[in-house]
Structure 1
């Protein structure tokens, strides 16, 4: 019984790492390259490569019912570290430099008060 629970928890753990890595990669690719330089972080190309490798490793670390399980678990943990560093440190730093529009959804300036 505990073996089945362990397999399910391990599968969920690796899937969470994969989702984090994909989220970080997609976010990094959507941001403009100038935002990375303006925030004083590594370039967009470097972060895209790091997160692309992290996503691939996380994908290949998912165990056999859904994935290959080709890489050991500690490599999946390294993928999680790369994604978390991006999401916690780089993403908030580049966010002010990559906003689109004026925050009002492109509605333009307001006319008068209430």
Structure 2
């Protein structure tokens, strides 16, 4: 059961890392968030920690890794998502 939770945390962290890497770097300061470089480092460490929790017995910081990924996904991602996109009010034209 715990192994499935650790896999879900790893997938969440990996998704957040890939999404942050694909976001334009000018979007972060434009929405008054931290820099892209800082988020990539935080999410990279978070992904590494959650990966190690899946395959080893080092599980001490895995929930901190989840918190970092959730802060990005629930706060930063919605703010920076619309910067640089050519979408209309109901989606792409």
TM score, norm. by length of structure 2: 0.90
| Larger proportion of strand | 2
CA RMSD of aligned residues (A): 1.0
Q: Which runs of 5+ in 2 are unaligned?
A: none
> Is residue 56 of structure 2 the alignment partner of residue 68 of structure 1?
yes
Q: Tell me the TM-score normalised to structure 1 length.
A: 0.74
Q: Larger radius of gyration, structure 1 or 2?
A: 1
Q: Distance in 1 between matches of 2:26 and 2:47?
A: 23
Structure 1 stretches (4+) deviating beyond 3 angstroms? Answer: none
Give per-residue Cα distances to partners, 1:57-111, cap 9 Å, x unaligned: 000011xxxx122x22x41101100000000000001012142x3412xxxxxxx
> Helix, strand or coil for the counterpart of 1:97?
coil
Size of the aligned set, in residue pairs, is 89
Unmatched 5+ stretches in structure 1: 1-8, 105-114
Alignment of 1:1-114 (within 5 A): 9-62=1-54, 67-69=55-57, 71-72=58-59, 74-99=60-85, 101-102=86-87, 103-104=92-93
Answer 1 or 2: higher relative contact order, Cα 8 Å, separation at least 6.
2
| Contact 1:24-1:86 within 8 A present in 2 as well | yes
